[in-house]
Homo-oligomer: A and B are copies of this chain.
Amino acid sequence: MSDSAPSPARAWLGFAVAIVAVFALGLLTASVMERRVEAQIRTPLVQINAYESDNGKWAVNWPREHASWKKTLESTSETKHGGAKPRDLLAETPANVILFAGYAFSVDYNQARGHMHAVEDVEKTGRDISTKPATCWTCKSPDVPRLMAEMGPAAFYASKAKDLHTEIQHPIGCLDCHDPDTMALRISRPALVEAWASQGKDIRQASHQEMRSLVCAQCHVEYYFKKEPKNYLTFPWSEGMKIEDMEKYYDANGHVDWVHPISKTPIVKMQHPDYEVYSQGIHAYRNVSCADCHMPYKTEGGAKFTDHHIQSPLNNIQNSCAVCHRWGEAEIRGRVTAIQDKVAEGRHRAELALAQVHFDALACIQAGATDEELKPVRDLIRRSQMRWDYVAANNGMGFHAPQECQRILAAALDQAQQARVLALRLLATRGVTAPVAYPDYSSKEKAQALIQDIAAGKAPRLIP
């Protein structure tokens, strides 16, 4: 009897164990199902308006992406010098003040900060925006697509920045890159579409992987404001995206951003040709997109999503570089830094030669050289500064295409030095044989005081 039927107590125990086991299995199933739900493509909870510029509204549907985007309040570049304060590039390299004399960058040139600072940084900058065209807002806010739809791009560009200021409320966010209905990546600014068209290409044919770079290329490019239509935002891409292509473009249309007050050279300011430089590097060649490194995938629980905390990959090596390059973090950082340091050396050589030749040209003016005589000098300065700036202004300190950046910097250096040779010969023909007395621009403050003096017609005497 005892072998074939359990005692009532043992039967109840077995029943209890079975109950607990079934309950635990239920919990596990629920947990697994929950993770599957997280991993599913989400059905939006609320409908987003076609021109919704308030990034917080999108957060209801996309809380993880929005939360990561909010981290762009933090510094986005690797801060070599530590701290959350953005680097003061003029203090770090006072020669920048000389090279940008007469242009807003000589007044204030801080390390770029995160997208959430876009509007605020325009308002707070030491540069004066009261006289700027509305074109300057183009890349700052998701309020721009609405305004452009209402006004048309040409009227938008032709407006004054201060007149549209009250409409510009939100910093770079969701609507700039996404279609609110499908969340598909979308080009929201006309300039990039037009630049592709100028190369005979239709941007609507771009693949999803290309779009993961092209949404960035709406802003991270070299651009200028056309005179006609008034202040029309234009990328000089019709000849191509290499520096020589852009030089050819600007040679043909004669665009000048400003006339340098020291050497009186007409200068083309290169903005931040990030996409152009990236396009010439090995990562682009291997079809790695901007987002792959700057917005790598992230998981929270069972959910995998694109990290919208756009930043230097060096702040997030394990999720960016290390996905392909299976090395240690210190090793990856060391390789990147070694590459950047080599580019920096070339950049500093070009920078010094350029600063000197601006003064050499001023010395020629002081010695009575004519504009006609100075023409070949200024032509070389213009070409040299365009090249130096193509590399210096783009983010990544040359990392996006190191060999191409080094090639360009060597050309910039060569042209600046050739200009010096011409200037010195010009001085000699005017009887000046003493070395040019280069003024002291060894700090940001000294350099800024110096260019203010020059602007006020009180240039120091550089020749005996």
Contacts and interface: CB of A to CB of B under 8 A. Distances in A.
Interface stretch (A103-111, A419-427, A441-449): A419-427
Given A403-B339, A417-B418, A346 B425 contact: no
Interface in A408-423: 409-411, 413-414, 417-418, 420-421
A436 to B, nearest CB: 9
What class of interface size applies to chain A in its complex with B? 20 to 34
Contact of A346 (B342, B353, B410, B417): B410
A407 interface: yes
Contacts of A421: 417, 420-421, 424
A453 interface: no
A125 interface: no
B403 A342 contact: yes
B353 A414 contact: yes
Given A404-B342, A406-B406, A425 B433 contact: yes
Contact of A342 (B339, B406, B413, B414): B406
Max chain B Cβ within 10 angstroms of own Cβ: one of A338, A349, A410, A417: A410
Max chain B Cβ within 10 angstroms of own Cβ: one of A402, A404, A409, A417: A417
Interface in A388-416: 402-404, 406-407, 409-411, 413-414
B420 A410 contact: no
A404 B345 CA distance: 11
Contacts of A339: 403
Nearest to A398: B403
A424 to B, nearest CB: 5
Contacts of A335: 285
Contacts of A411: 345, 349
Nearest to A432: B428
